[in-house]
């Protein structure tokens, strides 16, 4: 959630590559997509692929495709608009988010195991 | 991508000094709960702050600005860690004294009032510049955020205990 919000704000405010909607109901939908749907999908992905390490990498293209699907569906439904955006940047964005999350998760698990003794 | 401060003045010093001093104070406290839990508390507070700020300070709402620019800047990232020591201290004291009933209500109102006072100080140093937002609105946000934070802390600690994760209770 932290990563996604930061990326979206930088891309919208600083780079002008996204345009947020002016309609209050669509903006509420955007907020729900950012706070609920995308983080839940990411957590679900980590949950179902956490049994074996290689599963995370094998299913990664599917996970990224789903997230990009939600992103572009939001665009089609008018929740926000990609103004100067390229599909490949979404691939890079979600891949980078996944890598950071994966290593943050591994670091946290290591810390938890260390504390358990 | 993330601009540096326009001028390194009051707001930047306020954020840096508060964050460093806050974390220093918290690190000097005797250990009460695992680092895994305090990490989650910090992440929770930063998440709540980012979600709220990015929802209402960006267009179309654009209710206030943080620091020097209307854009998202580097010091904004540090600003999100400024409240973390308060959160850690509030759950620390909650864990120590276990306030219940009216005492818990008073505890939450007290911490919300302190956060409100701290935000007022931050506005004096131009960390926040309001456009349509007003300082009293923040109090209701702090009431909800502090309550959520206590609920989150209680849930995390219960989860930790239930799964026998506490160092002192885990089997050797």
Q: What is the ipTM of this complex?
A: 0.86
CA quadruple B152, B153, B159, B162: dihedral sign: negative
Tell me if A14 and B59 make a contact (CB, 8 A cut-off): no
Q: For residue A101, is it left (φ>0), alpha (ψ between -120 and 50) or beta? A: alpha
Residues of A in contact with B167 (CB under 8 A): 115-117
Would you tell me which residues 75-114 of chain A have a C-beta closer than 8 angstroms to some C-beta of chain B? 108, 111-112
pLDDT digits (tens, 9 = 90+) for B49-69: 999 998 898 888 889 999 988
pLDDT at B162: 82
The residues, ordered by sequence, that sit 6+ positions from B39 with a Cβ below 8 Å of its Cβ are: A108, A111
φ and ψ at residue A50, rounded to 5 degrees: -85, -5
Tally C-beta pairs within 8 A across A and B. 62
Please indicate if any CB of chain A lies within 8 Å of the CB of B34.
yes
Give the count of domains, chain A. 1
Tell me if A9 and B54 make a contact (CB, 8 A cut-off): yes
- Give the separation between CA B23 and CA B12, rounded to whole angstroms: 17
pLDDT at B167: 52
pLDDT at B15: 95
pLDDT at B169: 43
Length in residues, chain A: 117
The residues, ordered by sequence, that sit 6+ positions from B59 with a Cβ below 8 Å of its Cβ are: A13, A20
Tell me if A112 and B36 make a contact (CB, 8 A cut-off): yes
Nearest CA of chain B to the CA of A18: how many Å?
A: 11
Domain with A32 in it: 2-116
Tokens, residue B96: 């120590």
φ and ψ at residue B114, rounded to 5 degrees: -65, -40
pLDDT at B93: 95
pLDDT at B166: 55
Nearest CA in chain B to A11: B1
pLDDT digits (tens, 9 = 90+) for A88-107: 999 999 999 999 999 999 99
pLDDT at B123: 95
- Low pLDDT (below 50) residues in chain B: 168-172
pLDDT at B3: 85
How many CB atoms are located within 10 Å of the residue B67 CB? 23
pLDDT at B79: 92
Residues of A in contact with B34 (CB under 8 A): 115
Tell me if B2 and A10 make a contact (CB, 8 A cut-off): yes
Residue pair B128/B16 in contact by the 8 Å Cβ criterion: no
Residues of B in contact with A24 (CB under 8 A): 60
What does the pLDDT average to over A41-53?
Answer: 88
pLDDT at B172: 34
Of A5, A13, A22, Cβ closest to residue B60: A22
pLDDT at B164: 65
């Amino acid at each position: 959630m932290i990563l996604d919000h930061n990326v979206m704000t930088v891309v919208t405010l600083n780079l002008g590559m996204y345009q947020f909607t002016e309609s209050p109901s669509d903006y509420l939908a955007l907020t729900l997509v950012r706070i609920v749907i995308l983080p839940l999908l990411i957590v679900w992905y980590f949950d179902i692929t956490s049994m074996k390490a290689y599963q995370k990498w094998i299913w990664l293209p599917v996970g990224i495709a789903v997230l990009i699907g939600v992103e572009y569906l939001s665009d089609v439904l008018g929740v926000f608009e990609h103004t100067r955006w390229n599909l490949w940047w979404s691939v890079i964005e979600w891949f980078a988010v996944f890598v950071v999350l994966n290593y943050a998760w591994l670091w946290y698990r290591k810390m938890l195991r260390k504390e358990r003794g | 991508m993330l601009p540096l401060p326009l001028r390194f003045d009051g707001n930047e010093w306020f954020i840096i000094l508060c964050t460093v001093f806050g974390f220093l104070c918290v690190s000097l406290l005797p250990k009460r709960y695992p680092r895994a839990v305090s990490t989650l508390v910090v992440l929770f507070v930063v998440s709540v702050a980012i979600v709220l700020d990015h929802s209402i300070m960006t267009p179309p709402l654009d209710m206030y600005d943080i620091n020097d620019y209307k854009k998202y800047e580097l010091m904004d990232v540090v600003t999100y860690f400024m409240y973390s020591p308060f959160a850690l201290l509030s759950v620390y004291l909650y864990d120590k004294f276990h306030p219940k009933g009216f005492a818990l209500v008073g505890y939450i109102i007290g911490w919300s009032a302190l956060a409100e006072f701290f935000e007022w100080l931050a506005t004096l140093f131009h960390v926040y510049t309001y456009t349509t937002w007003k300082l009293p609105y923040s109090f209701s946000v702090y009431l909800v955020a502090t309550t959520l934070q206590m609920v989150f802390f209680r849930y995390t600690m219960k989860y930790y205990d239930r799964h026998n994760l506490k160092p002192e209770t885990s089997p050797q």
